[in-house]
């Protein structure tokens, strides 16, 4: 009497996925190819097999195979609940993010699935994928295309009154507008997103994203105290979910402390229990900037920017605020250096501050125009002439007032003379 060979299972595939990925791939494909019918357990196994196969290709950094898995899964999706379908496809598309240089493939795959969802009249899935695509386009810095997609999506969502997706899309709209420096629209979009979120249960991670965007917009307005509060809420939200974005929120918290002229608070923040798990290069980079600011040292500041270039320059938010901080430090150093002089060579000032002559000359010119101090640049002699702050002559002000009154009297007499004639 012969016994049939037991069919390979998900557990078998998981056991050999690291040692023999090709064999694991065959097992997973066989599970997917076996008709499940109305068997709930078989359908559940196929769902898991689909995700495991996606993970396998993700770990192998194979975007082409991952895209093919998503395309082939559509037959399986036809027999799955529509809400579950959206979750599975979005999860599979998210796997692209872990593959280097796969952003273009991820966007193309998302667009392809949007077209399929449109053809199948799966409205919920299409809206979910279009929301995902908008986020991918923002990451790819294709802001015009992202905003066009968002505009069309918002019109549809407002009619359907789906508050959850509406919150997500308004948040994406705010992000896209802030990336293009359209701050007024970014604030309006965020307000609309928060209004939609207030009428539903907002998941913690979505709330953390809203808080992050609020912090970014307040920081842009130089309201670093309020921005810090939002970044702290974001940090707590991401930390509770063990989300990697908590590190970015922590960096923004440290940035706010530096911009508030409280660099000494950076050390105590870094040593806090919740922040200790995120210690590393990113945090050390912010600590170096804080020390340079505390010492009011342009040399230390430049040294930190060079030493921690990747950690400080890759984030546009940090890069922008540190550029403003550097400008402030340079201005403070220049004011301190020129204070004892009535006339000084620009080259000497540049030497003392450790900056190129041309850059110092440009900065001094800007400071004079902004009335940080009073003076004039003698470019022929290469010197800066510094003046005392001029005192307003009260006689001059009184004379102007008298002339104005005389003018009013003359005008009044002229009007009366015109009426008499």
Q: What is the DSSP string of 44-61?
A: HHHHHHHHHHHHHHHHTT
Containing 25, the helix (H) or strand (E) segment is helix 21-33
In whole angstroms, what is the distance from residue 130 CA to residue 269 CA? Answer: 39
SS3 (DSSP) at 221: coil
**pLDDT at position 377:** 78
Taking only the tens of pLDDT, the chain with its 421 residues reads: 344 456 667 777 777 777 777 888 788 777 777 766 666 777 777 788 888 888 888 888 888 888 888 887 777 666 666 667 778 888 888 888 888 888 899 999 999 989 988 888 888 888 889 999 999 999 999 999 999 999 999 998 888 877 888 999 999 999 999 999 899 999 999 999 999 999 888 899 999 999 999 999 999 999 999 999 999 999 999 999 888 899 999 999 999 999 998 988 888 888 888 788 888 888 999 999 999 888 888 888 888 888 888 888 888 899 999 988 888 888 888 888 888 877 888 888 888 878 888 888 888 888 888 777 777 877 778 887 777 776 666 677 778 788 888 888 888 887 877 777 6
Token pair in block for residue 359: 């850059």
Kindly report the number of other CB atoms within 10 A of residue 410's CB atom: 10
Residues 6+ apart with CB under 8 A from 164: 200
Orientation of helix 224-240 relative to helix 246-259, angle to 10° = 160
Domain 203-338: give its CATH code.
Answer: 1.25.40.570
**pLDDT at position 80:** 62
Architecture of 1-135 per CATH? Alpha Horseshoe (1.25)
Token pair in block for residue 400: 């102007």
In Å, how far are 206, 278, 279 from 273, measured between CA atoms? 25, 10, 11
In this structure, are residues 163 and 200 in contact, taking their beta carbons and an 8 Å threshold? yes
- 342-420 has which fold? Arc Repressor Mutant, subunit A (1.10.10)
Q: Which among 257, 321, 302 is positioned nearest to 283, based on CA atoms?
A: 257
**pLDDT at position 39:** 66
Beta pairing class for 383-387 and 374-378: antiparallel
* Domain map (residue ranges) of the chain: 1-135, 203-338, 342-420
Domains 1-135 and 203-338 share a fold: yes
**pLDDT at position 250:** 93
């Amino acid at each position: 009497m012969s016994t049939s060979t037991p069919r390979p299972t998900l557990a078998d595939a998981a056991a050999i996925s690291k040692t023999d990925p090709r064999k694991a791939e065959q097992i997973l494909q066989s599970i997917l190819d076996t008709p499940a019918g109305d068997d709930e357990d078989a359908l559940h196994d196929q769902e898991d097999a689909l995700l495991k196969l996606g993970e396998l290709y993700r770990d192998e950094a194979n975007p082409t195979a991952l895209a093919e898995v998503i395309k082939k899964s559509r037959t399986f999706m036809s027999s799955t609940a529509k809400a579950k379908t959206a979750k599975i496809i979005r999860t599979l598309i998210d796997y692209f993010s872990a593959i280097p240089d796969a952003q273009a493939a991820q966007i193309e795959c998302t667009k392809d699935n949007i077209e399929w969802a449109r053809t199948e009249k799966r409205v919920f899935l299409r809206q979910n994928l279009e929301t995902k695509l908008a986020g991918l386009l923002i990451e790819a810095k294709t802001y015009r295309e992202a905003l066009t997609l968002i505009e069309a999506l918002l019109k549809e969502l407002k009619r359907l009154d789906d508050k959850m997706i509406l919150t997500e899309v308004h948040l994406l709209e705010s992000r896209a507008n802030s990336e293009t420096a359209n701050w007024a629209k970014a604030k309006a979009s965020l307000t609309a997103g928060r209004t939609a979120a207030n009428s539903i249960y907002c998941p913690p991670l979505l709330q953390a994203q809203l808080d992050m965007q609020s912090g970014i917009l307040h920081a842009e307005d130089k309201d670093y105290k309020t921005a810090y509060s939002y970044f702290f809420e974001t940090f707590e939200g991401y930390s509770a979910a063990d989300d990697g974005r908590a590190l970015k929120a922590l960096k923004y918290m440290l940035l706010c402390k530096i911009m508030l002229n409280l660099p000494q608070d950076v050390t105590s923040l870094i040593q806090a229990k919740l922040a200790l798990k995120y210690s590393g290069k990113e945090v050390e980079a912010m600590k170096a900037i804080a020390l340079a600011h505390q010492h009011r040292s342009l040399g230390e500041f430049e040294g930190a920017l060079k030493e921690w270039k990747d950690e400080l320059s890759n984030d546009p938010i940090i890069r922008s605020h540190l550029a403003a901080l550097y400008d402030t430090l340079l201005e403070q150093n220049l004011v301190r250096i020129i204070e004892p002089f009535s006339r000084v060579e620009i080259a000497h000032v540049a030497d003392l501050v450790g900056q190129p002559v041309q850059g110092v000359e440009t900065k001094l010119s800007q400071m004079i125009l902004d009335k940080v101090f009073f003076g004039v640049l003698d470019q022929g002699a290469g010197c800066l002439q510094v003046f005392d702050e001029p005192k307003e002559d009260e006689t001059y002000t009184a004379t102007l007032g008298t002339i104005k009154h005389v003018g009013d009297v003359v005008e009044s007499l002229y009007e009366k003379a015109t009426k008499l004639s």
